[in-house]
Amino acid sequence: MQTRTALVTGAAQGLGQEFAVALAGHGYRVAGLDLEPQPRTAEQIPDYVELVGDVSDPDTVREGLERIIDRCGALHVVVNNAGVYPAKPFEETTLEDWRRVMRVNLEGPFLVTHSALPYLKAAGWGRIVNITSAAVLTAPPTMVPYVASKMGLIGFTRSLAAAVARHGITVNAIAPSMVRTATAERTVGADGGFEYVRSGQAVVRTQVPADLVSTLLYVVDEGSGFLTGQTLNVSGGSAYL
């Protein structure tokens, strides 16, 4: 099998960093796109292609993909992981709050996937993985825009899977529970969010990024070509789902 190339968005830290390092460990050439520089990711991955910019900016995305092709020659896997999840009462949510969440969480995957699709088709094989959330079912009341965006991403996954299947490309989503990352600690950790989610799980511990790696590797595997349009719920057996 030829060496595959993967793009991971939101690769500077947390779940995206874990995914990028895991893919590199399984023989992929890896590129990462994030608003921030990615030194901790780059130091763990040989020949890492670091792309700094906004996933919701069309020029940034297009130029980043051109750099990947220039460096690696092809693209096979896209992991749409970048996302934002501000917690705020709905009555205090502004239109700009709503639009920012939608730009990053829903328009970002659209732009990245739309720009990457010609390269995946040219490769004759592809895997698109969208990171959604189990929150679409638990529906936390202070995260209305986030839940709406992630539910939209599930619809995007299902419909796109049907649109690209004839090109040998699969599209699936992974829905984690609340993952302990630095961003989550700042956003919901102080309010007891981890404890609340953990109390309703069969696996009574807080999810960490490493818990999602085996699912990602399964979805992108050469042998998973019959799996498409699906959302894999990895939430520790949550009683709320």
48, 85, 119, 146: the catalytic one is 146
In angstroms, rounded to a whole number, what is the distance separating the alpha carbons of residues 146 and 150? 6
Describe the chain by its helix, strand, coil percentages, rounded to 5: 50, 15, 35
Task: Respond yes or no: is residue 146 known to be catalytic.
Answer: yes
Strands 231-234 and 169-176: parallel
Task: Encode burial over 55-87: b for 16+ CB neighbours within 10 A, e otherwise.
Answer: bbbeebbeebbeebbeebebbbbbbbbbbbbee
Q: Which residues contact 74 (CB under 8 A, 6 or more apart)?
A: 5, 119, 122, 123
Q: How far apart are the first and last CA of the chain?
A: 39
Name the region of 77 (left: φ>0; alpha: ψ -120 to 50; beta: rest).
beta
In angstroms, rounded to a whole number, what is the distance separating the alpha carbons of residues 120 and 143? 34
Q: How many CA atoms lie within 13 A of 68 on its CB side?
A: 30
Question: Catalytic residues, which ones?
Answer: 146
